[in-house]
Structure formats: structure tokens, C-alpha cells
Chains A and B, each alone.
Chain A
Amino acid sequence: MSTLLPPPGEIAMIPVDWVEERSGAISFGKFMLFRNVPKDISWLQTLGSALITVFILQSTTGILLAMYYQPDPDTAWSTIQWITNDATLGWLVRGMHKWGSSVMVVLLFLHMGRTFLFGAYKYPREMTWITGAIIFILVMGMSFTGYLLVFDERAYWATIVGVNINGTAPILGPALSYILMVGPEISTHTLSRFYALHMLVLPSVIGGLIFVHMLLVVRLGVTSPPWSRMQPTEGDV
């Protein structure tokens, strides 16, 4: 009987081969890992991957917070108090979500600055820059909508000021303020609208744009630094 079985190494490969044959996932993964990048890429070019790490961190801590948080003016503040004081490691999850947002904004600035100084937005990477710029603006939107959810004094008044700033825009401004607040002032509906934007709309759009951004990076290849000496010579075409 035992002679009929293939060696253990081959048995282990059966599920791997099964997946590969049906999806090509294994060869895609190999391509992703072992594709060549320019020899002289620098430490400055790690900021994009750090941003993905922070995005995953914000999503994870955000999901954990959403399990306990209630977007209701009467209970929002108390659920956060409960998360901070009573939930196991809740203070850490909440603290990391809060400070993660600041770190994300700083990293976005640095990543964008690096791209700018490297001239990495130039041909053929214009679309990578544009998707990145939109992600940047949407992340600022995440900060703004996340702010109210804490529902403390600072959150409340800063949101009123923010919405009123929107309201100063000509024609669309007052309508936009009304849509954001769901009425003339902050209410239960404002809180649930901000919550929906903060945890459903904006993260999915940002996630989708990050996917496109990364596809473009893989397709076009990582930029070599502008000071790169790796230049083809005459006979090397």
C-alpha cells in the first residue's frame, strides 16, 4: 500500500499545485516577491510600505473599536470611556487608533515629499501620483470625520467650525453643510452619517485606491533615485 503513495514532499505540494492550477496565485506571488527592483533604491523608499502597514493597523484597531462603539450622542462618549477603562487592552487599541491617524498624516507628507524630490511623478508614473494625491485628500477626510466620533467638547465644537467652513463656499456650501450635518445642527443623524463615512465609505474608497496605486507601482517598477549611476552605456541596449 505504502508504495502506491507519492513521497511526503509531493503530498505537501498537492494543495499548492491545486491552487496554482486554478488561480495562478503561486506564480503571481513568486513574481511579486522576486521581481527585480533597481539596485540603488534607498531607505527613503520604504515610506509607502510603512503607510500600508499603518492603513492595516488603522483598519484592525478601527474594526475592534466598531465592535463596542455606539454612534449616538447620548452613549458615544460613554462607550469610548468604557473601551478605554474597562475593555481588555481597550486603552491600547483606542490609543493606537488615535495616534496612528497622526502618524499616517505625517508619513503621507513624507512619502509625498520623497516622491516630489525624486521626481518620481514624472513619465510614466503620473497616474501613481494622482491616485496618491486623492488618497491624501481622503485621509484628511478620515481625520475630519473621525474627530466627531469621540463626541467630547473638542470634537463637537471643532466639527461645528469645520462644517461651517464648508458652508462658506458659494452656491454648494450651505447645501454641503446641511448634507454633512443632516440638518441645521449636530444631532444623532450627524453622528451616524459621520460614522458611516468614516468606517464604510472613505476606507473602502481609500483601500481601492491603494490597490490601484500598488498595481501601478508593480507594473511600472520602483523608481531608481535621481542620483542613480546605473545608466546604460552605448553598447548596452
Chain B
Amino acid sequence: MPRLTARERREGYQREYSFQKRHGKPFFPNAVFHDTIVSLIVVALIMGMAILWHAQFGAIPAEATAERIGGLLGPAYEAKADPGVLGYDPRPDWYFFFLFELLRIFKTPELLIVGSIIIPTIWMVLLIGWPFIDRNPDRRLSRRPIALALGVTVPIVLLTLTFYGSKAPGAAGQASTEPGAAAFAGGACSTCHTLANAGTAGNVGPVLDSANPDYATALNFITNGKGGMPSFKATYTADEISCLAGYVATWAAAKGTTPGPQAASAKATYPASCTKAGGLFAGTATNAVGP
């Protein structure tokens, strides 16, 4: 197709559009009629979903810890937020599943930024700047092969990411009975980290079986936070933090019941600190899902 000058383009467009407008039909009642029908369908759909959601689960139970999971329209009422809660597997709402899945793809610490910032930023720039990128003046799909290919690929990629994001594994594994394992699996750690010994499969932070930190590093990160990881100074006592750090150093990259390569760095405090911390930290619980 020959390249048009700005003036030819403008005049061509104006000739065509003023013709279509002159031979068009008034907005009311023609377009308004169609708009009204579609709007009514959409409102009915939203009301239907709200009614179905409510009919399925009814009133929220009085106690703040009550949960109603499952159901046709996804999780319903959940327990009140509790920072100290054990064994919660966080998941975004469905429209952020694609981002959630991107993070699972780029989960090593060096690549994390690709999934979390770089790709979403490129998407946003492409989205806003698209009219300046696609300079082909033709609007018929048969003359826009590249746009058509993109228009098919992008939804497929997004739907695929959303699908796999929705199926992303939770902290479903079984924790070992080592001291600290149940606390790791049941606490906030499992939210973000994968550690085979604890049976967790979090996908936000580094996989501890590959990162394999020594005791001092783990202690420092849990206490002070690092990058995206929050500080747990206020959540856990010193003994509990020491227990978790010792557990991670000892059992990350462990082969079965043989401790991992950093186990020696934790020898001085682990598992003594776990016994001192007591409860879930002492290593009596066997279930990853919490008490």
C-alpha cells in the first residue's frame, strides 16, 4: 500500500466518514436501544452472581476465624486477617493470576525483576503507545497481518498465564517432623518460599533449596527483611527467629534425612532454640496445614 501524506490521509478519512455520517442513523433510538439491552444484561449478570454467591454461602459466621472455601464462584468468606496466622497460602484475585504466574516463571532472585517489573512495564508502554507503533492506516484485518497475529497471540498468552496461575500449587506438601519444620510450613515463610523439607511451594521469594543460605544469612534476612521480604522482628521472638534460621540453614537442600551443606553453620543454636521457643517450633506437629 502506498504511503499517504498526512494531508491525503486526513482528507481521505474525512471524505469517507462524513459520507458514513450523512447516510447514518440517529444515535437515539437506534444505538441507544442496543446499548440499553446490553447494559441490562450486564447488570442482570452482576446481580445474578451476587445472588448466587450469597445463596450458596449465606451469612458470614459470627466468629472471626470462620472460613467458607470452595463453591461455584470461588472462595467466599474468609477469616479475619491475622498477621500471626499459620498456614495461609496467598493468592491474588483472578485478574492478577497472569502476573502471579509470570513471577513463578521468573522466580530466581536475579530474574524476579523480569517478571515483576520489566515485562509489566513493557506491556503498559506498548498498550498506551500502541497507536504510534502501528502506523498501518488500513483497518481491514486482511490487510493487517501483524496486528492480527498480535491480536490473537496476546489474549492466548494472557489466558494461558491466567490458567496456570489459577492452578499454581499451594503449600500442599507434608512437612517433616524436624524442629522448626511445622512452624516454617505453617507460618509466613511458606507464603513465599519453596523448601522441600517443609513441604512448601511458595513462589514469590527464592527457592531455599537452591539459595541454600547459611545460619547468619537466614537470621539476618528473617530479622531485618531483604528486598521484597518483610522483617519478622515484630512477629516472632528471638528464639523463634533463631529456630527458623537454624531450620532453614540445616534442612535447605537436604537429601532425605541427611542435612544440607550449610547445616554446620547452625550447629551452635539448632535445634536448641526450637526447644526453647516451644509449641509448633519444637517439632511435634507433622501437618503442613497447621495446628
Closest partner residue, chain A, to B48 (CB atom): A99
| Segment of A8-16, A35-43, A195-203, A206-214 in the binding face | A35-43
Contact (A34, B95) CB under 8 Å given A84-B60, A117-B151, A230-B19 = no
CB within 8 A of B64: which of A34, A77, A155? A77
| Chain A contacts to B: CB under 8 angstroms | 32-39, 41, 43, 45-47, 49-50, 53-54, 57, 73, 77-78, 80-81, 84-85, 91-92, 94-96, 98-100, 102-103, 105, 107, 109, 113, 116-126, 129-130, 133-134, 136-137, 140, 143-144, 147, 151-158, 160-162, 164-170, 173-174, 177, 184-186, 221-222, 224, 226-228, 230-232, 236-237
Cβ contacts under 8 Å, B138 to chain A:
119
Cβ contacts under 8 Å, B95 to chain A:
102, 105, 140, 143
In the complex, A130 Cα to B77 Cα: how many Å? 37
CB within 8 A of B113: which of A99, A122, A170? A170
Q: Mark B84-126, 1 if CB is under 8 A from A, else 0.
A: 0100101111111001000100000000110011000000100
| Segment of B21-29, B213-221, B263-271, B275-283 in the binding face | B21-29
In the complex, A81 Cα to B15 Cα: how many Å? 59
CB within 8 A of B27: which of A36, A116, A155? A36
Cβ contacts under 8 Å, B231 to chain A:
184-185
In the complex, A34 Cα to B79 Cα: how many Å? 53
Cβ contacts under 8 Å, B67 to chain A:
153
Cβ contacts under 8 Å, A222 to chain B:
27, 31
Closest partner residue, chain B, to A147 (CB atom): B93
How many positions in chain B have a CB within 8 Å of any CB in the partner chain? 89
With an 8 A cutoff between CB atoms, is B160 at the interface? no
Interchain CB contact under 8 A, B47 and A92? yes
8 sampled A-B residue pairs with Cβ under 8 A? A33-B27, A34-B28, A77-B64, A85-B60, A98-B53, A158-B90, A164-B228, A170-B113
Closest partner residue, chain A, to B139 (CB atom): A119
In the complex, A184 Cα to B67 Cα: how many Å? 28
In the complex, A174 Cα to B99 Cα: how many Å? 19
In the complex, A78 Cα to B79 Cα: how many Å? 11
Interchain CB contact under 8 A, A232 and B15? yes
A30 CB to closest chain B CB (Å) equals 9
Contact (A161, B15) CB under 8 Å given A33-B28, A38-B24 = no
* Residue with the highest number of chain A CB atoms closer than 10 Å, among B25, B95, B124: B95
CB within 8 A of B79: which of A152, A158, A164? A152
Interchain CB contact under 8 A, A156 and B81? yes
Interchain CB contact under 8 A, A144 and B141? no
Interchain CB contact under 8 A, A153 and B141? no
With an 8 A cutoff between CB atoms, is B230 at the interface? yes
Interchain CB contact under 8 A, B227 and A162? no
Contact (A123, B9) CB under 8 Å given A34-B28, A113-B151 = yes
With an 8 A cutoff between CB atoms, is B30 at the interface? yes
In the complex, A125 Cα to B42 Cα: how many Å? 27
With an 8 A cutoff between CB atoms, is B192 at the interface? yes
* Residue with the highest number of chain B CB atoms closer than 10 Å, among A85, A136, A232: A232
In the complex, A184 Cα to B223 Cα: how many Å? 13
With an 8 A cutoff between CB atoms, is B191 at the interface? yes
Contact (A116, B191) CB under 8 Å given A37-B31, A185-B230 = no
Interchain CB contact under 8 A, A32 and B46? no
In the complex, A232 Cα to B23 Cα: how many Å? 10
Interchain CB contact under 8 A, B137 and A34? no
CB within 8 A of B38: which of A50, A121, A125, A231? A50
Interchain CB contact under 8 A, A129 and B90? no
With an 8 A cutoff between CB atoms, is B156 at the interface? no
Cβ contacts under 8 Å, B155 to chain A:
109, 113
With an 8 A cutoff between CB atoms, is B146 at the interface? no
Interchain CB contact under 8 A, B27 and A37? yes
In the complex, A161 Cα to B209 Cα: how many Å? 21
B230 CB to closest chain A CB (Å) equals 6
Interchain CB contact under 8 A, B96 and A37? no
Cβ contacts under 8 Å, B1 to chain A:
none
Contact (A91, B46) CB under 8 Å given A37-B31, A123-B13, A226-B140 = no
Interchain CB contact under 8 A, B147 and A119? yes
| Segment of B127-135, B175-183, B242-250 in the binding face | B127-135
Cβ contacts under 8 Å, B35 to chain A:
46, 49-50
Cβ contacts under 8 Å, A124 to chain B:
10, 13
In the complex, A32 Cα to B28 Cα: how many Å? 9
In the complex, A140 Cα to B204 Cα: how many Å? 20
Cβ contacts under 8 Å, B225 to chain A:
184
B50 CB to closest chain A CB (Å) equals 3
